[in-house]
Amino acid sequence: MGSGSSPCASCKLLRRRCAKDCIFAPYFPSDDPHKFAIVHKVFGASNVSKMLQELPVQQRADAVSSLVYEANARVRDPVYGCVGAISYLQNQVSQLQMQLAVAQTEILCIQMQHHQDDSALALPTQMQHHDDDDYKPFLLPTTHNLDNISQYINFASSSNVIQDPAATVKRESLWT
Residues that bind other proteins (CB under 8 A): 26-27, 29, 41-44, 46-47, 51, 54-55, 59, 61-70, 74, 78-86, 89-90, 92-93, 96-97, 99-100, 103-104, 106-107, 110-111, 113-114, 134-136, 138, 140, 143-146, 148-149, 152-153, 155-156, 159, 161, 169, 174-175
CA 78, 82, 86, 92: dihedral to nearest 10 degrees? Answer: 70
Instruction: For residue 21, give Cα distances in angstroms to 4, 5, 18, 110.
Output: 12, 13, 8, 67
Based on CB atoms, which residue is closest to other proteins, 93 or 167? 93
- Quote the least distance from Cβ 121 to other proteins, whole Å: 10
Of 155 and 167, the one with the shorter C-beta distance to other proteins is 155
Q: Helical H runs in 27-81?
A: 33-42, 45-53, 57-76
Instruction: Report the residue number, 129 or 161, with the smaller CB distance to other proteins.
Output: 161
Of the two residues 17 and 146, which places its CB atom closer to other proteins in the complex?
146
DSSP secondary structure letter of residue 5: S
Dmax over CA atoms of the chain, in Å, equals 85
